[in-house]
Amino acid sequence: MFAKRHSFRGDENLSYSIPKMDIICSIVDFLIENNCLQVIEIGAGTGLWASLIQIVLERRSNINFIATDKFAVGKGLYGYKYTYTKVENMDALNAIKKYKNSNCLFLCWPPWQDMVEEGQYSAGKVLKIFEGDYLISIGENARGYSTGDDLFYDELEKNWDHLEDNDIDMFIKGGIFTIYDSVYFYKRKPKVKPKEDEMRDTFLRSKGRIIASMHNFQEEYTVRGSAHFIPVRRDFDKGLITGFRPRATGF
């Protein structure tokens, strides 16, 4: 199925991206597999994608999928006539703050750089304050193309791992205006420990080896008899550890 952007989005009050059942199911599978109990969508528009995902989720899971958009029905840039599901009227950053416990962020066609400069929300700023571990983004997902601002791609490169992607039917097939629409799945990169944390971890591992050696030495002392060893006490990390050393004669 192919559709021009203006006929699918504008004239029929639908969406920037064309939903298909296999794509919807792949999104739901990802949410369930990664235990994403709450999902926040920014820039939901008419809520078409949200409504379809919610329908499938209702049959398979109790995941809470929340749709938000700055523009109320009949107002704003596109003048939506209605929505397909409940879409909370709030700006992007306030939505992230309100639903800060969401562990997955969903974006469908986040505004590109020119649109952000004209006053649309910045997906980069949204991603920067989002605290969850998973991201689903629909669009072209390449710097300088039709979705996402520069800060968005900076954040992706710095803090997110690309897991997989699935192609969606294009708006226009062929020609210079072809748009290669896909759904992209991401997971937050593991946090790199500061150097002082690494040093502390190394110290604790060394401490554990020392304590284990002490215990082994104490067992040997018990077996071989006290005639061969003298008890030694050490103040280690603000605690006393008892060990044993050989006597000057004997052992």
Backbone phi and psi for residue 75, each to the nearest 5 degrees, phi listed first: -130, 175
> What is the number of domains present in the chain?
2
Match 């030495």 to its residue by tokens. Answer: 217
Are residue 214 and residue 171 in the same domain, yes or no?
Answer: no
* 162 and 230 housed in the same domain: no
Instruction: Please tell me the predicted confidence (pLDDT) of residue 129.
Output: 97
Q: Which pLDDT value is given to residue 146? A: 78
Written as tens digits, the pLDDT of the chain (251 aa) is: 334 444 445 445 566 678 889 999 999 999 999 999 999 999 998 899 999 999 999 989 999 999 999 876 665 555 667 789 999 999 999 999 999 999 999 999 999 888 888 888 999 999 999 999 999 999 887 776 778 899 999 999 999 999 999 988 765 555 545 567 899 999 999 987 666 666 776 767 776 676 666 655 555 444 445 555 444 444 444 444 444 445 555 44
- Residue 77, domain member (yes or no): yes
- Our separate counts of H helices and E strands in the chain read 8, 9
Domain span including residue 206:
195-246
Asked if residue 104 and residue 149 are part of one domain, the reply reads: yes
List of residues 6+ apart from 107 with CB closer than 8 A = 41, 42, 43, 123, 126, 135, 136, 137, 138, 139
Q: Compute how many other C-beta atoms are within 10 angstroms of the C-beta atom of residue 49.
A: 29
Residue that terminates a domain, selected from 188, 212, 238: 188
What is the value of pTM for the model shown? 0.71
Which of 188, 203, 225 is the last residue in one of the domains? 188
Does a structural domain hold residue 251?
no
For residue 213, tell me if it sits in a domain: yes
What φ, ψ does residue 205 adopt, rounded to 5°?
A: -65, -40
84 in a structural domain: yes
Do 172 and 208 lie in a common domain? no
Spatial separation of the C-alpha atoms in residues 102 and 29, rounded to whole Å = 17
